[in-house]
Chain A
Amino acid sequence: MLMIAPSTFADVKTEAYVQENASEVLASLNDPSLDAEERTEKFNTYMDEFTDMTAVSNFAIGKYARRFTEDELARYRKVFREYALAVYENELDAYRGEAVIVKDSVDRSATDSIVNTVIKRQDGKDMDVRWRVLTRDGKYQVVDVALNLDGNLIWLAIEQRAQFLALLDRSNGSAEALIDKIESMKRNLEAEKRS
């Protein structure tokens, strides 16, 4: 997995980062030589490097990241990671994406960029996907992904946060309630996985 050092030409470097790594992630799902277990392992390895799962998990619970105990936070992050990876694998697998084409990018700041891409699909129904990439400690990582749904940009982590916060607000900030819910959703996803 290529980790490109940031430079003054953030756009170009960030675009290259997304192009290469997103393509590798898709390729891991399309590799016919892998069985289900190997495919999941390879996919998870790529995704762990490609995305900042700790940042995303913290973002998804907002203020509760500071209120959870160390133990709660550790258990939440573990189940969140497993759930998120299962979701990404199932859904990207279902899209049968073949290639990622970078269109352009926008710098929100020196360390915060959006890369606009098109994922080419086998069925010809290409997808408009946008990747939010942060630069931290000299390393690029994706923290959110947007899907363009008929002109409606859907940022996945933001949506996740809206629901997680609502659930936590309604359960007096119960980490157990959230963890149980994510566990339940994860089990459902694993049952749907391609064998």
Chain B
Amino acid sequence: MTQRIFAAVLAMGLGACASTQNAEPGMIHDPYEGFNRQMFAFNTGVDKYALGPAANVYETVTPEFGRDRVGDFLHNLKSPVIFVNDVLQGEGDRAGDTFARFLVNTTVGVAGLWDVAGYNGMEKHAEDFGQTLAVWGVDSGPFLVLPLVGPTTPRDLFGAGIDRALDPLTWTEFDNNPDLDDHIAISRSVLGGLNARVALDDEIKQLNAQPEPYIALRRIYSSQRQAEIRNGRINEEEAYDDLPDFDEFEE
């Protein structure tokens, strides 16, 4: 459903990231736009000639059922990091949900292959240290697009590094196979990337059809991050404060 709306917004030429609360549309700090546009073009090329075709093959050989299991499994692996960030943000209820989901899905859900908790009303959510920093009041810094990484900010980039450090799998070693941890990490990244690319196929097509795909991506990234930081909550009292005047350019 979310993806459908997302695609609709893009189809409107509306790049999706919308006027977010407390953020005047168009006011995204982007002092490195020239560099970012070059990296965006590079990433678009990588997607067109490598990631996209690879995802098509993956989609062909992996039925939707299998991709769903991969998605559930990978999300379950993130639970420890999500839990820590829930706690660091003072979100006790969400931390409890994450903990309970992890227990249920790892056991009843066969090592996380089935999101049993989700089917029973305990909806999943995501958290990361970039969001935690935002909750703590750290400014995002300028918008950046990095090769292969994609859209980010210094805050989110630093946060991703901390999340990696928080992940137990980062520090797991296997006595009888010292390379296994690296193989797991690579497999996790490749599968996660392919799964996500398949899931976002419609959105990426719509993005590339936009009048200004770079602007669309910048706005998508920035406003979605703002919504994630608010955990999807809308402050209704301020929701319409920043709307522009519609008559400003009337004849």
Contact = CB atoms under 8 A, between A and B. Distances in A.
Nearest to A112: B246
B9 A58 contact: no
A46 interface: no
B209 A188 contact: yes
B243 interface: yes
A152 B240 CA distance: 12
B233 interface: yes
A178 B233 contact: no
Nearest to B10: A159
Interface stretch (A9-17, A32-40, A162-170): A162-170
Interface size for chain B: under 10, 10 to 19, 20 to 34, or 35 or more residues? Answer: 35 or more
Interface of A: 55, 58-59, 61-63, 65-66, 83-84, 87, 90-91, 94-95, 106, 108, 112, 114, 125, 127, 132, 134, 143-144, 146-156, 158-167, 170, 178, 181-182, 185, 188-189
B212 A163 contact: yes
Contact of A55 (B212, B214, B240, B250): B250
13 contacts: A62-B249, A65-B249, A144-B246, A149-B227, A150-B2, A150-B224, A153-B239, A155-B243, A159-B13, A159-B14, A162-B219, A166-B211, A167-B212
Contacts of A164: 13, 211
Interface of B: 1-2, 4-6, 8-9, 11-21, 25-26, 209-212, 214-216, 219, 223-224, 226-228, 230-234, 239-240, 243-244, 246-251
A145 B15 CA distance: 14
B228 to A, nearest CB: 8
Contacts of A165: 26
Nearest to B219: A162
Contacts of A148: 234
Given A94-B8, A159-B18, A164-B13, A152 B226 contact: yes
B211 A149 contact: no
A167 B213 CA distance: 10
